[in-house]
Every structure is written in structure tokens, then in C-alpha cells.
């Protein structure tokens, strides 16, 4: 029986239809619900495919050979998609592929799903204003989506996802076109989200280590590491060519250890480590 408080993936493998290469290989992992889970790995590691499985896009919209079991709480995205789909939003790598293309203004684009669900006008206006403020799009609400920069389009795509208040949010490289300040603001915002299970694929390892409760590392479709950011970063194999946080690099250079040859991976850990070093 599925644990209603747990994300559980058991012996998950997947091969796309008309393809001979297995993209995901026997993945086994679990994590608590309402966690922020960072998914990292190099190109062709299987990160987007795993997101598609978690969102139920595979196998419900994209076919192939799927083996194993996935549960988010007591629901399976592969078997209970009609139910889970109403609780899940998936932010794609390319924001243009997510937007409706039918809205004249940013406000209309954010409101699009709410209108389709028959939400009343007063609630729509309140929610649109709220998520626009969260994504720093208030000044752009009456602009055409086509007038936005790449980073603003990514924030708009996120706004259209969170306006429905999903319990599960899947983000596939959502900050690739944001400038450094926009990216920092986004990760700071993400850390404030409560009562939501968040999966985020990102190459921004410094930012991920500041906010993620868990990291999953994919290499050639295999889950090679899983655990807290501290555990995972300190166990990376150099052959995987996965970047490490600047905090970790500095601490290792200075040998500011947390003990047991574990080096800090975020600012709070580094501060604690330096404080202990000076106290001794």
C-alpha cells in the first residue's frame, strides 16, 4: 500500500516508443511529501523524462515501455492521472510552449486556466494580482506576453502554473533565461512555498543547495546518488562532471570541515563551520 505521506519510486524504467535506448534504468527512491527535490545531472541524463513520468505525461500522453511503480502520496501519476493531473502543474523548459498564445495581456494569460475552470471573476482578479506580485510581473500585467523578455516569460509560465494552487509543482529548468537577480529572487521565493511537493530540474547547483530538502542525481538514466544536499555533494564522483557549489569549493580549499570529511554546501553551513573553526 502506498504511503500517503511519501513520494515513492520503485524499479522505474522507461524506453520511448520506437526507440531502443532505455532512458531511465531501475530507479528506486523515496522522499517525504511537501519537500523540495532538486534533480541534477548532465545532458541526456533522463531528467526531463523523469519529470514527465512524475507529471503523468508518460505514459498518458507519450507512449513507450514503462516498468515499475510511482506514487506521490497514495496516487500514481501513471494510473490515477485523471485525479492527480488536477493537483499537478508542470513548468516546461520553453515557456512559449506552455503559454496559451490566445491571451492579449499578461493578466489574461495568468487567468486563462482559472477561466476554463469557471472560477468567479473576483477570485480570478485576486489570484492574478497575487501571483503577478510573487513573480514580479505587476508592472507588466497589461502588456502583451510577446513583449516580455525571456526571463519574464519564464516567470509568466510559472505564474500560470501556481495560480491554480497546485499541490505538486514540477519545474524543468525554469530559470535558464533569467538574469542573476531574477534567478536569485525566484529561488528565494521557492523557499517560501509551503504545503507543496516541488520537483525542480536545474543546473544552478548553488541555488539548489540553499533550498532543496533532497537532491537526486541522474547519470545516463540511472539514479546514482540521493539524499540531502550535504550528503550528495560530498559523494559526487568527478567522472560524472557535475558542478559543485562555490561554498563547497571554498570550504574544501580551506579545509573548513563539518567533520567526517563533510564540507558545507550552503551559506548557513559555511557560517557554522567557520564559527566553529574560530572557536577552537
For residues 22 and 73, give the distance between their C-alpha atoms in angstroms, rounded to a whole number: 27
| Residue 1: pLDDT band with limits 50, 70, 90 | very low
One domain, residues 278 and 255 = yes
Q: Is residue 1 part of a domain?
A: no
For residues 46 and 43, give the distance between their C-alpha atoms in angstroms, rounded to a whole number: 8
Q: What is the mean pLDDT of residues 208-229?
A: 97
User: In total, how many domains does the chain have?
Assistant: 2
Q: Is residue 133 part of a domain?
A: yes
One domain, residues 221 and 85 = yes
Residue 275 pLDDT: 58
Residue 5 pLDDT: 82
One domain, residues 142 and 201 = yes
Read off the CATH number of the domain in which 156 is found.
Answer: 3.40.50.300
Nearest to 230 by CA among 193, 266, 180: 266
One domain, residues 52 and 187 = yes
Residue 2 pLDDT exceeds 60: no
One domain, residues 201 and 228 = yes
Q: Is residue 187 part of a domain?
A: yes
pLDDT in tens, 120-142: 999 999 999 999 999 999 999 99
Q: Is 24 helix (H, G, I), strand (E, B) or coil?
A: strand
Residue 112 pLDDT: 95
One domain, residues 215 and 263 = no
Residue 105 pLDDT exceeds 50: yes
One domain, residues 192 and 136 = yes
Q: What is the mean pLDDT of residues 139-156?
A: 96
For residues 101 and 71, give the distance between their C-alpha atoms in angstroms, rounded to a whole number: 33
* Domain coverage including residue 79: 6-244
Residue 261 pLDDT: 84
H/E element, 252:
helix 246-254
Q: Is residue 42 part of a domain?
A: yes
One domain, residues 156 and 255 = no
Residue 237 pLDDT exceeds 90: yes
One domain, residues 268 and 137 = no
Contact at 8 Å (CB) between 178 and 135? Answer: no
Residue 272 pLDDT: 77
One domain, residues 278 and 223 = no
Residue with cell 499578461: 106
For residues 79 and 188, give the distance between their C-alpha atoms in angstroms, rounded to a whole number: 34
- DSSP lists the bridge partners of residue 171 as 91, 200
One domain, residues 215 and 97 = yes
| Residue 181: pLDDT band with limits 50, 70, 90 | very high
Q: What is the mean pLDDT of residues 176-184?
A: 94
Percentage of residues in the chain having pLDDT higher than 90: 87
One domain, residues 229 and 264 = no
Amino acid at each position: 500500500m502506498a504511503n500517503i505521506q511519501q513520494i515513492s519510486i520503485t524499479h522505474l524504467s522507461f524506453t520511448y516508443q520506437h526507440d531502443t535506448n532505455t532512458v531511465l534504468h531501475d530507479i528506486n527512491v523515496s522522499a517525504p511529501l511537501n519537500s523540495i527535490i532538486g534533480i541534477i545531472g548532465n545532458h541526456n541524463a533522463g531528467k526531463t523524462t523523469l519529470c514527465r513520468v512524475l507529471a503523468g505525461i508518460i505514459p498518458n500522453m507519450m507512449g513507450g515501455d514503462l516498468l515499475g511503480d510511482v506514487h506521490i502520496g497514495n496516487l500514481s501519476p501513471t494510473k490515477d492521472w485523471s485525479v492527480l493531473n488536477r493537483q499537478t502543474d508542470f513548468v516546461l523548459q520553453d515557456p512559449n510552449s506552455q503559454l496559451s498564445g490566445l491571451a492579449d495581456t499578461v493578466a489574461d494569460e495568468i487567468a486563462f486556466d482559472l477561466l476554463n475552470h469557471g472560477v468567479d471573476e473576483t477570485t480570478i482578479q485576486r489570484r492574478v494580482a497575487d501571483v503577478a506580485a510573487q513573480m514580479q510581473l505587476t508592472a507588466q500585467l497589461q502588456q502583451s506576453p510577446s513583449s516580455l523578455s525571456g526571463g519574464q516569460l519564464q516567470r509568466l509560465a510559472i505564474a500560470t502554473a501556481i495560480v491554480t494552487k497546485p499541490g505538486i509543482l514540477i519545474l524543468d529548468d525554469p530559470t535558464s533565461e533569467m538574469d542573476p537577480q531574477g534567478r536569485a529572487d525566484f529561488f528565494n521565493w521557492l523557499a517560501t512555498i509551503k504545503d507543496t511537493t516541488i520537483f525542480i530540474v536545474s543546473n544552478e547547483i548553488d541555488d539548489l543547495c540553499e533550498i532543496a530538502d533532497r537532491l537526486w542525481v541522474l547519470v545516463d538514466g540511472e539514479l546514482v546518488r540521493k539524499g540531502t544536499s550535504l550528503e550528495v555533494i560530498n559523494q559526487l564522483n568527478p567522472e560524472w562532471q557535475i558542478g559543485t557549489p562555490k561554498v563547497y569549493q571554498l570550504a574544501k580549499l580551506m579545509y573548513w570541515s563539518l567533520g567526517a570529511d563533510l564540507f558545507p554546501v550552503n551559506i548557513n553551513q559555511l557560517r557554522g563551520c567557520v564559527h566553529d573553526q574560530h572557536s577552537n
